[in-house]
Structure 1
Amino acid sequence: MGKRGAGSRGRRRAQGRRRARSRRRPAGRLLLLALVLTGMTLAGGAALGYWKDTQEAEAAPETAPTPTQVLSPTPSPSPTPTPKATPKPKPKPKPKKTTVPKSGRGTFTTADSAGDEVGAGGTLRRYRVQVEDGVDISAREAAAEIQAILAHPRGWAAHGRGRFQLVSENADFVIRIATPDTADRLCLAQGLNTHGELNCETTQGVVVNLKRWMLGSPTFSGSPAEYRHLIINHEVGHEIGIRQHMGCPGAGRLAPVMMQQIKGLNGCRSNAYPYDEDGSYISGPVVP
């Protein structure tokens, strides 16, 4: 009894210890699991925080302004000025071609004009101006131009070789401007063949070829307007008594107004006036 009781008590104590250990194991396991989970959570949070810090650090260079951007903002570029369009040069207008009719009606209109006497010496010579009908020249305007030619400071009247006055009637001679065919007919009546190109002086007065009046001469270096001075001075020179023509006085010198310059200058320089700028008469050798 005594030994068996003692054995029973021993067994009971051993069983109680085992039960106690078994009761303590689940709690320990739960504590261990909690610790593991807590560690994982902490580790995950740290890892997540590290990942976020890393991502922000990597993105920072792209989003954060540089010191230059903050302190010195880039100025807006100045607007580029719009270049002005260069206007295209306008083409020069072609000079209007002067058309001279070869023939006309053969009748004339007298300029209804009168002027003051010009010149201070010699015989007074009254003249009237006529223009062939149908040509594009005003008789009045032609008369005014001829009056200015005869009053020129280098002309006949300015140097005592004659006095002239524009009138519309009772004239001593007439100055006619005629088409080439009409001029040829009027000149040929005096035995002068002008070939549709030349002017002439007749018993009635001066015949001016319209072609020469409008176009000038290919041998004359000046304009047609200046050549008209030569026409009038040459033919009026015959009217005041200079019957013969002159030749070139020397190479490079001015051609005399009584030289037939349209036929060639022979080394002289073309000239439309009887006198030079110093008032000296321009002459040359007499030619047939």
Structure 2
Amino acid sequence: MKGRFVLPVLALALVALGGGAALAHYNGRADAAAPAPAPPPPAAGPGQKATTAPPRPVTPTPTPKPKPPPAPKPTPQKTDVPRSGAGTFTTARATGEAVGTGGSLRRYRVQVEDGIDVSAREAADEIQRILAHPRGWAAHGRGRFQLVSENADFVIRIATPDTADRLCAAGGLNTRGELNCETTSGVVVNLKRWLLGSPTFAGPASEYRHLIINHEVGHEIGIRQHMGCPGPGKLAPVMMQQIKGLHGCRSNAYPYDEEGIYITGPIVS
């Protein structure tokens, strides 16, 4: 009986050994194919600094700022004002809405002397804006105004100095080639003042035009007398002849101040 089990036991032992060798052979190949792990960096000894460099800070790339658009070139001021003109006028073919909060409606038309290189339509648009200004007559109940091209209650004319003198002289006024006036037929604006402003006015000619229109239309609505300076450093009344001197006042182109208070002064003429 014992002899029967020797061979099977021996066979099982050989199989077991062969399997182990095969397993060892397979594992050997797998271990050889795997990459060896990298050795850890050496630890810093006492008194030594770590050799690992800190990460470099990332500097953000600055976004280029857009260049601002070039500033518009200022419109050159016209200085070659003609002394005289044709004596005939072109009427602005324009109409507008009535502006104002009270008083009777006053319709006006705008005329420009021929040949003076000023657009009648553009002048009419500018005068319309002046009369609608929040510090003007219409905004404070001193009348309503409407731009028309015909059937007007009064006319606003822009004329050369010689023509302005002639029109003003018909109303008994001496404007000496320098001044504006208001007559029974309407307002006469001296082209020199319209284009150049006044040497006594601290502001551009475009602002001085407000003073021209507000002063002469002030006469048109019934303010016949001129005013003087109310005190040093105060705003000059619009009914003051500011071109003749400010007498300590500050130049001003509007009948009312920013709080809506009427700017007045002593009656002088």
TM-score (norm 2): 0.72
Counting only pairs closer than 5 Å after superposition, residues 160-179 of structure 1 correspond to structure 2 as 160-179=141-160
CA shift digits 1:124-157 (9 cap, x unpaired): 0000000000011000000000000000000000
Counting only pairs closer than 5 Å after superposition, residues 78-89 of structure 1 correspond to structure 2 as none
Aligned-pair CA distance for 1:110:
0.2
Aligned-pair CA distance for 1:95:
5.1
Say if 2:244 is the partner of 1:263. Answer: yes
Task: Please state whether the residue corresponding to 1:208 is helix, strand or coil.
Answer: strand
Distance in 1 (alpha carbons) for counterparts of 2:185 and 2:171: 10
CA shift digits 1:161-183 (9 cap, x unpaired): 00000000000000000000000
1:241 is aligned with what amino acid? G
The answer for the alignment partner of 1:224 in structure 2 is 205
More helix by share: 1
The answer for the alignment partner of 1:205 in structure 2 is 186
Counting only pairs closer than 5 Å after superposition, residues 8-19 of structure 1 correspond to structure 2 as none
Task: Please state whether the residue corresponding to 1:246 is helix, strand or coil.
Answer: coil
Pick one of 97, 112, 118 that aligns with 1:131. Answer: 112
TM-score (norm 1): 0.67
Maintained 8 Å contact 2:77/2:196: no
| Higher mean C-alpha deviation, range 236-245 or range 94-103 | 94-103
1:204 is aligned with what amino acid? S
The answer for the alignment partner of 2:87 in structure 1 is 106
Identical-pair percentage: 83
Pick one of 134, 150, 158 that aligns with 2:131. Answer: 150
Distance in 2 (alpha carbons) for counterparts of 1:156 and 1:164: 9
Aligned-pair CA distance for 1:99:
1.0
Say if 2:140 is the partner of 1:159. Answer: yes
Distance in 1 (alpha carbons) for counterparts of 2:75 and 2:99: 40
Distance in 1 (alpha carbons) for counterparts of 2:99 and 2:135: 13
Aligned-pair CA distance for 1:206:
0.1
The answer for the alignment partner of 1:140 in structure 2 is 121
Aligned-pair CA distance for 1:120:
1.3
Unpaired segments ≥5 residues, structure 2: 1-72
Aligned-pair CA distance for 1:96:
5.7
Task: Please state whether the residue corresponding to 1:245 is helix, strand or coil.
Answer: coil
The answer for the alignment partner of 1:194 in structure 2 is 175
CA shift digits 1:173-214 (9 cap, x unpaired): 000000000000000011100000000000000000000000
1:134 is aligned with what amino acid? G
Distance in 2 (alpha carbons) for counterparts of 1:137 and 1:213: 10
The structure having more radius of gyration, on CA atoms, is 1
Task: Please state whether the residue corresponding to 1:144 is helix, strand or coil.
Answer: helix
The answer for the alignment partner of 1:237 in structure 2 is 218
Pick one of 174, 179, 182 that aligns with 2:163. Answer: 182
User: Is the alpha carbon distance of 1:278 and 1:168 closer, same or farther for their aligned partners in structure 2, counting shifts above 3 Å?
Assistant: same
User: Is the alpha carbon distance of 1:109 and 1:249 closer, same or farther for their aligned partners in structure 2, counting shifts above 3 Å?
Assistant: same
The answer for the alignment partner of 2:259 in structure 1 is 278
User: Is the alpha carbon distance of 1:265 and 1:186 closer, same or farther for their aligned partners in structure 2, counting shifts above 3 Å?
Assistant: same
Distance in 1 (alpha carbons) for counterparts of 2:93 and 2:200: 34
Aligned-pair CA distance for 1:98:
2.2
Distance in 2 (alpha carbons) for counterparts of 1:131 and 1:93: 25
2:183 is aligned with what amino acid? T
CA shift digits 1:35-66 (9 cap, x unpaired): xxxxxxxxxxxxxxxxxxxxxxxxxxxxxxxx
* CA RMSD between the two structures: 1.4
